[in-house]
């Protein structure tokens, strides 16, 4: 299906697309890994009103999603899909890819995540009022971090998660399917070369990712019922376009 050169080019494409759009370089995230919030800073954030904290988090998430959209655009073949299908894939995949990327910004040793320049414990997000969502996000990162994925592997896992040919509403499913298969092949090839094939069976299941994303949508709905005007007026357009 693919020649050796094609495989090589595809591999470079996926890896570069990730590297060029990853928002924070792995080295920099590593350096800051032990910079945590002080108890006073934690307390002050925990006491913020719910709507303010939501707005803040949603803005950061949207920034991160802008990079994810850029990643998608740089994947060879994505821009050749029809615009409807591009939107279908991003609506379903943006939050999933955010979760995968969150694991790069997660310190496995003390269960903290990079937030506004430092590493934050789960409790910091208390005022959002969605403990079950945040704790499943943290749990997911904990288990993904345990696989110690390289940046190359992370790039491929992201691309395969995004190009899900099984999604409803795709108009040109065969195109997405072909792209998915090619990337899968290149991923296998990379893993063979690095003797890491075993990770294919250990990667989180699609259902796990989509159930967390579903929970995010449910929490957003509850928030919108409580603060309709905040969600409408203060959430960034891209966030609303994808999730509302």
**C-beta of 167 vs 215, nearer to ligand CLR:** 215
Among 72, 88, 92, 134, binds ligand CLR (CB under 6 A): 134
**C-beta of 13 vs 158, nearer to ligand CLR:** 158
Measured distance CA(102)–CA(10) in Å, rounded: 25
Is 17 a residue that touches ligand CLR (CB under 6 A)?
no
- Phi, psi angle pair for 107, to nearest 5°: -95, 110
Q: How far is the CB of 82 from ligand CLR (least distance, A)?
A: 28
Q: Which token pair is 167?
A: 């999604």
Measured distance CA(237)–CA(244) in Å, rounded: 10
Among 125, 157, 239, 243, binds ligand CLR (CB under 6 A): 125
Among 64, 147, 185, 191, binds ligand CLR (CB under 6 A): 64
Q: Which residues pair with 36 in a beta bridge?
A: 119
User: 180: part of which helix (H) or strand (E)?
Assistant: helix 173-194
Among 113, 144, 179, 212, binds ligand CLR (CB under 6 A): 113
Is 54 a residue that touches ligand CLR (CB under 6 A)?
yes
Residue 68 contacts residue 21 (beta carbons within 8 Å)? yes
| Strand spans (E) along 103-183 | 106-107, 112-115, 118-121
Among 23, 76, 111, 178, binds ligand CLR (CB under 6 A): 23
Measured distance CA(231)–CA(244) in Å, rounded: 9
Is 101 a residue that touches ligand CLR (CB under 6 A)?
yes
Q: How far is the CB of 39 from ligand CLR (least distance, A)?
A: 19
Is 128 a residue that touches ligand CLR (CB under 6 A)?
yes
Is 57 a residue that touches ligand CLR (CB under 6 A)?
yes
Is 216 a residue that touches ligand CLR (CB under 6 A)?
yes
Is 102 a residue that touches ligand CLR (CB under 6 A)?
yes
Reported for 105-109, long-range contacts at CB under 8 A and 24+ positions apart, including other chains, are: 105/24, 105/29, 106/138, 106/141, 106/142, 106/145, 107/33, 107/34, 108/141, 108/142, 108/145, 108/146
Is 114 a residue that touches ligand CLR (CB under 6 A)?
yes
CB crowding 36-45: b at 16 or more within 10 Å, else e: bbeeeebeeb
Is 108 a residue that touches ligand CLR (CB under 6 A)?
no
**C-beta of 95 vs 183, nearer to ligand CLR:** 95
Residues in 156-185 that interact with ligand CLR by CB under 6 A: none
Quick check: helix, strand or coil at residue 119? strand
**Residues forming the site for ligand CLR (CB under 6 A):** 23-24, 54, 57, 60-61, 64, 98, 101-102, 105, 113-115, 125, 128, 134, 137, 216
């Amino acid at each position: 299906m693919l020649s050796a050169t094609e495989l090589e080019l595809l591999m470079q494409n996926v890896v570069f697309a990730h590297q060029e759009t990853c928002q924070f370089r792995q080295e920099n995230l590593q350096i800051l890994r032990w910079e945590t919030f002080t108890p006073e800073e934690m307390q002050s954030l925990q006491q913020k009103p719910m709507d303010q904290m939501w707005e803040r988090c949603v803005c950061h998430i949207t920034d991160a999603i802008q990079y994810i959209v850029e990643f998608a655009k740089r994947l060879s073949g994505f821009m050749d899909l029809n615009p409807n299908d591009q939107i279908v894939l991003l609506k379903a995949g943006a939050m999933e890819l955010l979760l995968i990327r969150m694991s790069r910004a997660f310190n496995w040793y003390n269960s903290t995540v990079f937030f506004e320049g430092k590493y934050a414990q789960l409790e910091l997000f208390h005022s959002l009022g969605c403990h079950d969502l945040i704790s499943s996000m943290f749990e997911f990162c904990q288990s993904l971090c345990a696989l110690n994925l390289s940046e190359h592997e992370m790039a491929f896992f992201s691309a395969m998660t995004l190009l899900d040919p099984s999604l409803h509403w795709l108009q040109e499913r065969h195109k997405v399917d072909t792209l998915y298969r090619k990337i899968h092949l290149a991923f296998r090839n990379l893993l063979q070369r690095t003797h890491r094939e075993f990770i294919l069976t250990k990667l989180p299941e699609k259902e796990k990712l989509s159930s967390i994303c579903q929970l995010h949508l449910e929490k957003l709905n509850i928030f919108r019922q409580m603060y309709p005007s905040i969600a409408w007026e203060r959430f960034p357009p891209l966030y609303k376009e994808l999730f509302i």
